[in-house]
Structure 1
Amino acid sequence: MEKVLELLSDGSFHSGEALGSALGISRAAVWKKLKMLEELGLQLDSVKGKGYRLHPGVELLDRQKILGGLDQAVRESVVIQTCLKTASTNDLVRDIHVDSPEIKAVCLAEYQTSGRGRRGRTWNNPLGSTISMSVRWSYSAGMASLEGLSLAVGLCVVKALESCGASSLKLKWPNDVLWEPLSGKGSKESFQKLSGILLEVHGDPTGDCEVIIGIGVNIALSQDQINTINQPAVDIQRVCGMAVSRNYVASALISELCQTLDAFSQYGFGHFKKQWEQYDAFAGQSVVLDASGNSVSGVASGVNTHGGLLLKTGEGMMVFNGGEVSLKAAGPEKST
């Protein structure tokens, strides 16, 4: 399938006969390969008399373009690998060789068969329509000092997407990036998910550990693909109102993440706290927190210096380090 994608990557129409000739296979075999790609979510246009092409706005990953979008210092601090298909980039990135612990391994895939989200959820990633990226980072100060990292990474994703033209972005504790369109501003249903983050940590609680940072961003989804997602969702092309290069977004994410990890290793989450709160989607809102099956209601009151959620309840201010937050009702709740 890689060879078919290479031929289609120019965005032009290719007849089944031309594709078959270039690949050394029959037109029937070409049709089967194209159907397989469509089943993986790739958006293709088929026009009688012209042939097949990638749907406008669909761009395949290109390692050289991604590297070209990085400045020299970042290029020298990463090893980047792209692939067509894998079970999970969070697993594949662990196999990438680097010459020293200071080098970050980066893996991007066109399609994941078992992409993971938080709390055991599946991350939907139709082929060619999302960024599915994982970064392996070696950290020597122990797991305990990684508190708040997922929030810092969320802030990093917001900054990277803003540099690509996105606006009206918000952060949902602990690690979702949302878009709030002006037309629905202030309503409970207004937020639409643009990006998600998953962290996995392996190693010594007080010493060397390996951090796997998984980032998923919706780039160019069809309406049918959006309709299959079990929550309100959006892609960056809808947010920006124009086509946005996947490779450009990948470069922006890698650049911003490298800066974020370097700063986090020196200063911890406290360095990012105020900036994170400026993007807090639920600040001052009545929310419900699902923590280990227990529901707690209160007013979202920001985060502490370790990234814990501050929730003002009838019993006073409480801190939570895990759970799922949802809006209870639209509008701010008055404090008493």
Structure 2
Amino acid sequence: MADGQFFSGQQLADELNVSRASIWNYLKTLETAGFDFHAVKGKGTRLKLAIELLDKQRILTCLSSEHRALLKQLDVLDVCASTNQAIVEKHQLTPLPNGSVCMAEMQTMGRGRLGRTWVSPYGQNLYISFLWSFKGGISALSGLSLACGVAVCRALKSLGLSGHGLKWPNDILWEGKKLGGILVEIQGESQGGYTAIIGIGLNYQMNELSSGEIGQPWVDVCHAYGEKMGRNKLAAHVLAEVLSILHGYEETGLLPHVEQWNNYDCYRDKTVRILSGEQYEEGVASGISKTGELLLLTPDGRTKKIMSGEVSLRLSE
């Protein structure tokens, strides 16, 4: 039913060699999972929004030879707990090469920053995890999520999107609404060095039924773009830009991306509030430092560096 065409219950029953009652039960299960259906008497039932399922070959076809060389392994899963967890478990069984990527149609336990749930309905968004190991110290990886945020913004721009930007430390916004986010998890390796798992979630074409748990204004790529953008094409552009940044990050760090991050900063020169538990402080957001801290201009004229840690950033009321 992914193409959005009408199917009668009998057509589906014949195709799948089950009873019509089973088809009805399947459709109810899919509705519970967040699918939105439209039924018309005499025509049948269709998905209100057609779904472009992830296709490994289509993604690879959209990549240049240079980017295909950086992509060492691509797993496209149907359903998993989270793509970050899936790639970590695979890496623990047999160490994976740099440039290993895991994608999924749906996550049952998607996670965002500070332990929040990441709403992950089937076929409606992008859930992508990258694995890359680094030989240097962990301090050099502090700005990795910021650099990957720049990569996602570049990918969106290359496809013609405008009006998007970044919110420190790891949110992607479009006209102030949440479009996506990045979760970087660092693991120490027994032979020294560190492995980074970079999880990227990007709202693609999400229906209202699926978004009930999102506790803030959100938007998806197709709405922001004004028309449908190919999901596999979008995935390929994100892969290309993120892999390019990961490939050079050990040598260059965040520094080459700071200016571009500051240009994408949605909160630059705005009065903001830094929340830490019950405590907060206010100031004017002044971009990021060369190592990724938020630069906060305080009311007394000082510039304070804020590390991401357990703090949240909000526009001041």
Counterpart contact for 2:182–2:200, Cα < 8 Å: yes
Name 2:266's counterpart in structure 1: 281
Show the 5 A alignment for 1:1-336.
8-78=1-71, 79-96=73-90, 102-180=97-175, 191-203=176-188, 207-226=192-211, 228-315=213-300, 316-322=302-308, 323-329=311-317
TM-score (norm 1): 0.86
Q: Is the 8 A contact 2:7 2:43 kept in 1?
A: yes
Confirm or deny: 8 A CA contact 1:141 1:206 kept in the other structure: no
Output the CA distance in 1 between the equivalents of 2:278 and 2:191.
30
Partner of 2:271: helix, strand, or coil?
strand
2:316 partner SS: strand
**Range 90-99 or range 232-241, more displaced:** 90-99
Paired letter, 1:140? K
Q: Is the 8 A contact 1:145 1:268 kept in 2?
A: yes
Sort the Cα spacing of 1:51 and 1:233 in 2 relative to 1 into closer, same or farther, 3 A: same
How far apart are 1:293 and its partner, in Å? 4.3
Q: CA deviation at 1:205?
A: 11
**1:173/1:202 Cα in 2 relative to 1: closer, same or farther (>3 Å)?**
same
1:234 Cα deviation from its structure 2 partner: 0.5
Asked if the contact 1:304–1:310 (Cα under 8 Å) also holds between the matched residues in 2, the reply is yes
Task: Using the TM superposition, name which of 71-80 and 222-231 deviates more.
Answer: 222-231
> Retained in 2: the 8 A contact 1:142–1:206?
no
Equivalent residues of 2:34, 2:209 under 8 A apart? no
Letter matched to residue 35 of structure 1: K
Aligned-pair distance for 1:64?
A: 1.6
Alignment TM-score, normalising by the size of structure 2: 0.91
CA–CA distance in structure 2, aligned partners of residues 90 and 109 of structure 1: 10
**CA–CA separation in structure 2 for the residues paired with 1:169 and 1:279:** 8
Judging changes above 3 Å, is the alpha-carbon distance between structure 1 residues 53 and 72 closer, same or farther for their aligned structure 2 residues? farther
Deviations 1:217-249 (A, max 9, x none): 111122444455210110111101101121111
Residues 51 and 123 in structure 2, CA contact (< 8 A), matched pair in contact too: yes
Secondary structure, aligned partner of 1:265: helix
> Partners in 2 of 1:288 and 1:204 — Cα distance?
37
SS at match of 1:210: strand
- Sequence identity of aligned pairs in percent? 39
CA distance in 2, matches of 1:164, 1:45: 31
Offset, 1:152: 0.7
Task: Give the letter for the 1:240 counterpart.
Answer: Y
* Aligned equivalents of 2:134, 2:294: Cα separation in 1: 24
State the one-letter code of the partner of 1:318: K
1:82 partner letter? V
Deviation for aligned residue 1:200: 0.5
CA RMSD for the aligned pairs?
Answer: 2.2
